[in-house]
Structure 1
Amino acid sequence: MNTIKLLIILPLIGCLTIISNRLPAQEKDSTIRYTRVSNGYLMVLRQGDEIIPQLEHFALAEQIPSANFTGMGFVNVTFGFFDSAKKKFNPKHFKDVELASMHGSIAWQDDKPSIHLHGVVAGKDFVAYGGHILDGTVGTGSLEIMIIPHDKVLERVFEKDLGANVLHLKR
């Protein structure tokens, strides 16, 4: 009887191991990333979490029509200053900095979440830098984000003459 159980259980364990090894690191981690609160959601990201993909995953999982959010924490971040003549961002990376303030919005573009995100960071010298956040991961500690959903679906549209995505409002 025990041999039969082992013959059934061992292949199942092998399958689960293969499936588990194919999941991204954050999906393997059982840490809860957000919870519902009275006026929206509180998200707490941990060291190594990628900020924008986590917000995109949240918007999809919770079917958020649109939202605004604020946050603070410790990050490694890439800011971009938009060169309107060249219609592209000039990036600058900052490592191990305090994200003193982060503000952004969640909208939709091409049936996917579209995250627009700005922030201000400061290093150990207390010099502050800020702008459009192109990319970022949580550094030592955490990043706390308060998300306030809206009841209307908002869309972001690429405007060719500007070379940028712009939030469009509907009646």
Structure 2
Amino acid sequence: MRIQFNKIMAGLLFCLAFNLSQAQQKNDSEKCRYTKTPQGYLMVLREGDDVLEQIEKLAKEQNIPSANFTGIGFAQDATFGFYDFSQKKFHPKTFNKVEMGSITGSIAWSGEKPSIHMHGVATDDKFDAYGGHILGLKVGTGSMEIYITVNPEKLERKVEQPLNANVLQLPCLK
């Protein structure tokens, strides 16, 4: 009888812990990721958020014509890419558990999809710095703040040859 009681109690405790975990995940997913400012938006991203994905989602949801952004915060993973012009591709390198001392970039469009161009500088616990084009960025312990300044004109990016690089297209002034 006592063994069965212990099994029931263990099952109830497991269910309670599981439900609390699910409720916490739901609360995290419902947290506000951005707010409107006079110049554009302020994003506050949390641990595990994919920064490029969140900026792209904001651009789609708010139909941002174009923008520039800056940011700071902690990164779980920061993948930088160095573009090899002879091979016409990025050589990626990932750094884990770094602080993003600087993030800068722009939002434009490539057809119906937002095109995010991001650079940054990351430092590790030895204060060594790494930087360049950011291919992937995931928020680490803490948060990441991104300040987005919206531009009124819609800008496009197109792949230009012979570089095979996605280049921002500017409208000609008259």
Pair 27,151 (structure 1): closer, same or farther in 2 beyond 3 Å: farther
Q: Tell me which residue corresponds to 2:50.
A: 50
Pair 83,45 (structure 1): closer, same or farther in 2 beyond 3 Å: same
Q: Tell me which residue corresponds to 2:142.
A: 141
Q: Hey, which bits of structure 1, 4+ residues long, moved more than 2 A? A: 25-28
Count of aligned pairs: 148
Q: Tell me which residue corresponds to 1:89.
A: 90
Query: Distance between the aligned counterparts of 1:115 and 1:41, measured in 2?
Result: 16
Question: What's the offset of the Cα at 1:110?
Answer: 1.9
Question: What's the offset of the Cα at 1:27?
Answer: 10
- Listed as ranges, the matches of 1:1-171 within 5 Å are 29-75=29-75, 76-171=77-172
Q: TM-score w.r.t. structure 2 length?
A: 0.82
Query: Distance between the aligned counterparts of 2:27 and 2:108, measured in 1?
Result: 24
Bigger mean CA offset, 38-47 vs 100-109: 38-47
- Contact 1:77–1:95 (8 Å) recurs in 2: yes
1:120 corresponds to which letter in structure 2? V
1:67 corresponds to which letter in structure 2? A
Pair 149,63 (structure 1): closer, same or farther in 2 beyond 3 Å: same
Q: Secondary structure of 2:30's partner?
A: coil
Question: What's the offset of the Cα at 1:160?
Answer: 2.6
Q: Per-residue displacement from partner, 1:5-30 (whole Å, max 9, x unpaired)?
A: xxxxxxxxxxxxxxxxxxxx899811
Q: TM-score w.r.t. structure 1 length?
A: 0.83
Query: Distance between the aligned counterparts of 2:26 and 2:144, measured in 1?
Result: 15
Structure 1 unaligned regions, length at least 5: 1-24
Query: Distance between the aligned counterparts of 1:27 and 1:79, measured in 2?
Result: 31
Query: Distance between the aligned counterparts of 1:28 and 1:103, measured in 2?
Result: 26
Query: Distance between the aligned counterparts of 1:96 and 1:56, measured in 2?
Result: 23
Pair 27,155 (structure 1): closer, same or farther in 2 beyond 3 Å: farther
Q: Secondary structure of 1:97's partner?
A: strand
1:31 corresponds to which letter in structure 2? K
CA radius of gyration, larger in? 2
